[in-house]
Structure 1
């Protein structure tokens, strides 16, 4: 959709469709659907498919749009996603502790989604009126922002024509919508970062949530709520999302290794070792691998924190570097491509997680 539909149409249309779907789901909470059987299941699956597609359009469009802004704005956007996951995990724990009626809980969650989606639409309509946003959308620099990437590294990151040369093209206002973004040079320049993003999220989605949510407390037989009802929401969801948020937030202050460093893919490949660490915790049920190497509840908590922290820090670095290693006129399209790498990694990891669960 990027080369054919303007960004403001993509964002507003996707938000409107998501809001409409959630309003329908909110209404259905109070409707007796016990007699619908298969038709209700079909409606639910159709709604989930539409939500998935529209949220992908929204996320990739917004991330592509922030490619025209400094890296700190892209970092804030990515951290916001992790903050949403953390808030959801906290809300789930509070709901488990306080709520006794699943219908009321469901209604509260869906109403919250309705309010936030409506708020998103209002804030996006307000965005063009902000002087800060207008400034960066009107600028037409061919080099990355010097306050984001040091000047002595620009030549290593990107080859650009000399703007003072008589043969250099005159700067012209960049149109906000390009009908044919050159995909090949974007893919060529972002290939290394693309691999990092794909493999990072491949490893993460292999483990979370398919494996991590099936790790049980070794003290489960004690009957304590912390080892039964709260163990998985706390260790698998809250710790992972909070650690992911911390990792993403760290990139606001520390941005090493750089976009061309070989250390970055090395750290990404090193995360492969997290897979056996989770597998040999107290994953249940176990069919083929009977040995539990880590006989303590502290290990899944530690490993979930490490998984989230490394995922947040390394993926954010790769994502915010992408639009800054290409010329400014390609920044938006590059942001969309980076989000495509992200979803590709999630799809591959999710598909392979079923195989990993079967092998355990």
Structure 2
């Protein structure tokens, strides 16, 4: 670009690798909490007491049934809210203190979560539920601040650095679910597996904190966040000479409503895509039981592998394929096709409902797909289409507007994606009642 002074190089792509590492950390809290489902089932199981030689069951709410929906709302609603607030007001606060403070708070709360694994909460399950949900809300508020901040920082670097953050986010789920499966395969109980996963999260986020502090000291990082900003502030008049043909360019005032009118099919498509995803996963998908009556696959590995690990792998593959193919192509026809495919994903809600989900406690609908294979095939298509369509929407919208409107289009798409996540998390509590 004319007028752009070449800056220092990123030695061994260290800062890019750190951005990838931080990308994994942005979604690690959510992924770890939903992955250790067997641990939560143990913590919130129905408790029985021995009295006069007879076993009496406490008449309490089925907390194991309520937990997935509560977790989704407590995670996604504050996450989405503060992602939007961060985008609107984040520029008023210094970036580095904001990122460091939010990451440190997440680490402290994960230490608290790890400690609670070792405490017997059987006598105060309801209180433990509310305490955990409160910590989940605070964790996700700070995760949103950190995620929004690191995406804002990455936006000032070359495109590959934003790509590194997104790649890290995609692999974060595989890291969490894969870790849980490996620990269980080594013979750990659900409680031991959860403790290991939470402690590993603390260590991982600790290394991310150190890595970020190292990155901020590099000349490469300072050039894009420090010197570059100062240069722009002192040389604003040079903005009139940045066009390739050296002709003066006049700043264009972007109208968000006008941009939204152009990208609405992509915006509605990404909203529907993630609404359906969070509406089903994990609130309904985690309730599906293996048709095998016994064995390690049915009792220990079915949900960790066929639900969480398979979803995260499929989601990553979907994103990868979208980057290679990018079809439908950006444009009016492509946008309508993408919206049509997103509407078709609504069929996954009844498909998961008729799977073998909570077979012994259904009141409204029957089990019609009593098959592990059917569930796995549906989950694979569900995760692939989530990653693929979500990426197509996020890549396509900025390409159908003017270049000066692309940043606004991307910001609007992030907001609509967030609305989809929050809406899906809220509606999941009602979708579960279809069982």
TM-score, structure 2 length as denominator?
0.64
The offset of 1:29, in angstroms, is 4.6
- 1:152 maps to which residue? none
What CA distance in whole angstroms lies between the structure 2 residues aligned with 1:240 and 1:8?
33
Give yes or no for the alignment of 1:257 onto 2:328: yes
SS in 2 for 1:217: coil
Name the CA shift for 1:217/1:335 in 2 (closer, same or farther; >3 Å): same
Give yes or no for the alignment of 1:290 onto 2:290: no
The offset of 1:231, in angstroms, is 1.4
* Contact persistence 2:180–2:197 (CA under 8 A): no
- 1:19 maps to which residue? 107
What CA distance in whole angstroms lies between the structure 2 residues aligned with 1:333 and 1:11?
23
- 2:6 maps to which residue? none
* Contact persistence 1:23–1:114 (CA under 8 A): yes
- 2:349 maps to which residue? 275
The offset of 1:328, in angstroms, is 7.4
Which one of the candidate residues 366, 383, 390 is aligned to 1:308?
A: 383
* Contact persistence 2:357–2:367 (CA under 8 A): no
How is 1:1-360 mapped onto 2 (pairs within 5 angstroms)? 1-2=86-87, 3=89, 4-29=92-117, 41-69=129-157, 72-100=160-188, 104-128=192-216, 129=218, 131=220, 134=223, 138=228, 164=245, 166=247, 168-169=249-250, 184=257, 187-188=260-261, 190-218=263-291, 220-221=292-293, 223-260=294-331, 261-262=334-335, 263-285=337-359, 286-292=362-368, 294-321=369-396, 336-360=411-435
What CA distance in whole angstroms lies between the structure 2 residues aligned with 1:275 and 1:37?
30
- Which stretches in structure 2 are left out of the alignment for 5+ residues? 1-85, 230-241
What CA distance in whole angstroms lies between the structure 2 residues aligned with 1:323 and 1:258?
12
SS in 1 for 2:309: helix
What CA distance in whole angstroms lies between the structure 2 residues aligned with 1:322 and 1:6?
30
What CA distance in whole angstroms lies between the structure 2 residues aligned with 1:296 and 1:33?
35
TM-score, structure 1 length as denominator?
0.76
What CA distance in whole angstroms lies between the structure 2 residues aligned with 1:344 and 1:277?
24
The offset of 1:321, in angstroms, is 4.5
* Contact persistence 2:330–2:399 (CA under 8 A): no
* Contact persistence 1:72–1:252 (CA under 8 A): no
User: RMSD of the TM alignment (CA)?
Assistant: 3.6
Name the CA shift for 1:9/1:183 in 2 (closer, same or farther; >3 Å): farther
Name the CA shift for 1:130/1:80 in 2 (closer, same or farther; >3 Å): farther
Q: Which has the higher contact order (CA 8 A, sep 6+)?
A: 1
The offset of 1:349, in angstroms, is 1.1
More helix by share: 2
Name the CA shift for 1:135/1:163 in 2 (closer, same or farther; >3 Å): same
* Contact persistence 2:215–2:221 (CA under 8 A): no
Name the CA shift for 1:56/1:271 in 2 (closer, same or farther; >3 Å): same
What CA distance in whole angstroms lies between the structure 2 residues aligned with 1:118 and 1:332?
32
The offset of 1:252, in angstroms, is 3.5
* Contact persistence 1:206–1:352 (CA under 8 A): yes
- 2:238 maps to which residue? none
The offset of 1:353, in angstroms, is 1.9
What CA distance in whole angstroms lies between the structure 2 residues aligned with 1:333 and 1:60?
15
Give deviations 1:110-140, integer Å, cap 9, x for gaps. Answer: 221112112222333344526389469949x
